[in-house]
Amino acid sequence: MFDSKLVQVVIAKVRTEKAPGIDGVTAEHVLNCRPTTTLHLLILFNAILKHNYVPAEFGIGVTVPLLKGDNLDRSNIDNYKAITISPVLSKIFEHCLSFCFNHYFETSDFQCGFKAKVGCNKALFCSALLFSILLVMDKKFPLLQFIGYGKSV
């Protein structure tokens, strides 16, 4: 179960000046309503844990196209990436979960995506190594791999 201190710390670290989720709630709303909001979120989050039920609205996001760079051609669809704007309350809940449980999780050295300080270079190296091994072994089987090689900043 979470405590009020954890919820307060997570709320204090929420990034501001971001677009609201589908519910219209922004980080500024939550920040400016403390400490009352902290208590209500604590009750909600602990009820979610107790009853093993996450509100469906926590999983609803708004996906919008975002130009990858300011100097890119806006008429070329390849110059965009999709981002999903999630409800701020679900982000706060996720950060509380992460704070409490991240030390129980580990990732494989073979995972290249969605991992801190690991980028395409490692993924490309692993792919080249795998293909080399398969060629030497004369193995033929379908292999599907996705690598995002475009600028995603």
Q: 53 and 112 share a domain?
A: no
pLDDT of residue 24: 93
Nearest CA among 103, 101, 98, 3 for reference residue 45:
3
135 lies in some domain: yes
Examine the domain organization and report whether 49 and 22 are in the same domain. Answer: yes
Q: Using an 8 Å Cβ cutoff, are 10 and 27 in contact?
A: no
**Domain enclosing residue 115, as ranges:** 107-143
pLDDT in tens, 57-75: 998 999 999 999 999 999 9
Is 134 found in the same domain as 120? yes
pLDDT tens-digit series, residues 5-19? 999 999 999 999 999
CA dist., res. 43 & res. 69, Å (int): 42
Clarify whether residues 31 and 94 are in a common domain: yes
Does this model's pTM top 0.85? My answer is no
97 phi, psi to nearest 5 deg:
-60, -45
What does the pLDDT read at residue 4?
A: 93
Whether residue 14 lies inside any domain: the answer is yes
Q: How many domains does the chain have?
A: 2
Q: Identify the pLDDT of residue 153.
A: 47
Residue 44 sits in the same domain as residue 113: no
If asked whether residues 97 and 35 sit together in one domain, one would say yes
Q: Has residue 65 been placed in a domain?
A: no
Rounded to the nearest integer, the mean pLDDT of the chain is 83
* Residue 17 within a domain: yes
Give pLDDT, residue 103.
81
In a domain, 64, yes or no: no
What letters, b where the CB count within 10 A reaches 16 and e where it falls short, cover 11-30?
beebeeeeeebeeeebbeeb
If asked whether residues 42 and 116 sit together in one domain, one would say no
Query: Each residue's pLDDT tens digit in the chain (153 positions)?
Result: 899 999 999 999 999 999 999 999 999 999 998 888 999 999 999 999 999 999 999 989 999 999 999 999 999 998 998 989 999 999 999 999 999 988 887 777 666 666 666 666 666 666 777 767 777 776 665 555 555 555 544
Token readout for 9 is 């710390």
Close Cβ partners of 110 (under 8 Å, ≥ 6 residues apart):
126
**Is position 68 within any domain?**
no
18 φ/ψ sector (left φ>0, alpha ψ -120 to 50, else beta): beta
